[in-house]
Structure 1
């Protein structure tokens, strides 16, 4: 591609490199100049303009971006493509689900050449229909055919698609809340309502809701009842924090023949999330995790539990998006507190990073396999409060987000 300031006599069919006012009109950059355009430029007193001229082996930016986007989507019915414009094609989610990425392959594609860039949401981002999942952008006005062929070959040679959307799978879900004296019923009712709303956002039916006393025998009976109702996933909201694998909630799970997969998550508050399974079905328990449980009111403990009820850790509660793998369809997509007072407390929390800068650290980049199987192990920067896109390669096409 030729990029230079040329006399108007050599600009027929060239691409205008910079926007140029011509009388009352504005010729935008990227405009392909015609004879009439050149005459208008000459009438405006210009003799030279900066243009790009494609050579025989060049592919125009829009055509290159379209080919790359089509290769990336690879016929995935859950992804849609925008028409190419200004060298960019945006890729959107066609249905609600979880975005899966081949980060190493994306790194390799972005490292191929500075002319080709792919920016995405973080891995395991919770998607809603119409949300942008990725954008492919050709930086110059054209790329050599050989470079485009190498990029396409790299995409097609990957062992799995660079990006794909896994729609949520419907599950029969039970919600069990344990109670202690002094815990208001209105708090439990709100927990049930909020949990139902979050599940509905992912296409799930209202959960089978039950309550029981906060002791292992009563909880074991409630778990048995949920299993008898053929629940495929059981969400347990504890009235008191889990302190040990032998505490009330894990004891009730093991009493019913279950096994604890993981207790504790690298988030604060929200450390005390517990994940377990019984005969292949998932049980997730959330308890509040204050530094001093005795100093927190029952209502505050229940509120913290309710926000983690669908897999939402504290970072999710404070305004980000939590994104589990597809085997955890109960995870919430957006969990920003609804009340003004709760939002105010979240903003004032000292451990929360400033909004619009970087999301909280919800997890380690390399999560244990047990987490990836059943839990919410990744945090997404896709909140409206933070920059939308994150690119795993060192060269970032859009604002950086730190995990």
Structure 2
């Protein structure tokens, strides 16, 4: 592609590089200049314009963006993605349903490494999306690129991006109480909202005393496909009431604690084929916390290991906790 100023006599069929406002109206950048455009430009006193001229072997920006999108998403249905139309060298990829984004970072980085004019920007891996949420944007930065470069960038990129939809429809939230008083439904409402946006619903409310025996029985007979536990007293040790109740019910705890703040006091385990998540107290708030990252992966059928949770610590400082800000401030000398 050649780029630069040319006389109006040489400009027909070229691509206007910069928008121009004429008495007859605006000519937008990226416009393929016609004879009428040139007549209007001449009448407005222009003798030359800055343009892009495609050469043999070049692809127009829109054609190139669409071709790269099709190479990355060869099967929209299987990958859970919808490819938009092209405009100004850009094509967007949208989620067909709610879910989380799975991507192959090395292959996507390889796309961006071929030519600075060929690019794809994505949301982070495991990012939660709603139906029609944008997952990625493909942009051809110049007005055209060599077809050979585009072909190189597209090689091996097929299937490198997809949306994993939820695989479960129901969850049981078991709440424990430390007194005779039934706890506020704030936590249940927050969890119901999290599940609703993933196409799931909670089974009937279950509130029991904060004791191992009662909790173990509730876990064993929970009807939901996923079991969630929100205790009235914080779970502060792997042998505390909630994790021990899971063991007593015949399950196993695979991880206690996570390096994400807020969300430290989470645990995860299994009861047969069912995933069990012990929620941290911050799950009572709808604000993002570490439990969201674990819950969303579980809902979408991804096995969450202890190593996976350990890796969440990098980038895991999510937000200052308004009720407990001092430990994060320099010069704090307290305890707790």
TM-score by length of structure 2 reads 0.86
Equivalent residue, structure 2, for 1:314? 289
Equivalent residue, structure 2, for 1:89? 91
Give per-residue Cα distances to partners, 1:350-387, cap 9 Å, x unaligned: xxxxxxxxxxxxxxxxx9844659x999979xxxxxxx
Equivalent residue, structure 2, for 1:5? 5
What aligned pairs does 1:263-282 form with structure 2 within 5 A after superposition? 263-282=256-275
Q: Is the 8 A contact 1:199 1:330 kept in 2?
A: no
Q: How many residues align?
A: 313
213, 220, 227: which is aligned to 1:217? 213
Q: Is the 8 A contact 1:322 1:378 kept in 2?
A: no
What aligned pairs does 1:1-400 form with structure 2 within 5 A after superposition? 1-77=1-77, 78-156=80-158, 161-181=159-179, 185=182, 187=184, 189-226=185-222, 229=223, 231-288=224-281, 304-307=282-285, 314=289, 322=293, 326-329=297-300, 369-370=305-306, 372=308
Give per-residue Cα distances to partners, 1:71-114, cap 9 Å, x unaligned: 11221222111110000001111111111010111111111110
Deviation of the 1:306 alpha carbon:
2.0
SS across alignment from 1:100 = strand
Q: Distance in 2 between matches of 1:305 and 1:35?
A: 64
Deviation of the 1:13 alpha carbon:
0.2
* Greater RCO structure (CA 8 Å; 6+ sep): 1
Q: Distance in 2 between matches of 1:268 and 1:205?
A: 26
Q: Is the 8 A contact 1:178 1:211 kept in 2?
A: yes
Q: Distance in 1 between matches of 2:21 and 2:234?
A: 66
SS across alignment from 2:108 = helix
Larger Rg: 2
Q: Distance in 2 between matches of 1:136 and 1:378?
A: 27
Q: Distance in 2 between matches of 1:240 and 1:326?
A: 26
Deviation of the 1:61 alpha carbon:
0.3
SS across alignment from 1:327 = helix
Q: Where does structure 1 lack aligned partners over 5 or more consecutive residues? A: 289-303, 332-366, 381-403
Give per-residue Cα distances to partners, 1:178-202, cap 9 Å, x unaligned: 00128x5361x23223322321221
Deviation of the 1:217 alpha carbon:
1.2
Deviation of the 1:22 alpha carbon:
1.5
Equivalent residue, structure 2, for 1:353? none
CA RMSD of aligned residues (A): 2.7
Q: Is the 8 A contact 2:171 2:226 kept in 1?
A: yes
Q: Is the 8 A contact 1:98 1:324 kept in 2?
A: no
TM-score by length of structure 1 reads 0.72
Q: Distance in 2 between matches of 1:174 and 1:368?
A: 19
Change (3 A) 1:377 1:90: farther
Q: Distance in 2 between matches of 1:73 and 1:109?
A: 13
Q: Is the 8 A contact 1:123 1:378 kept in 2?
A: no
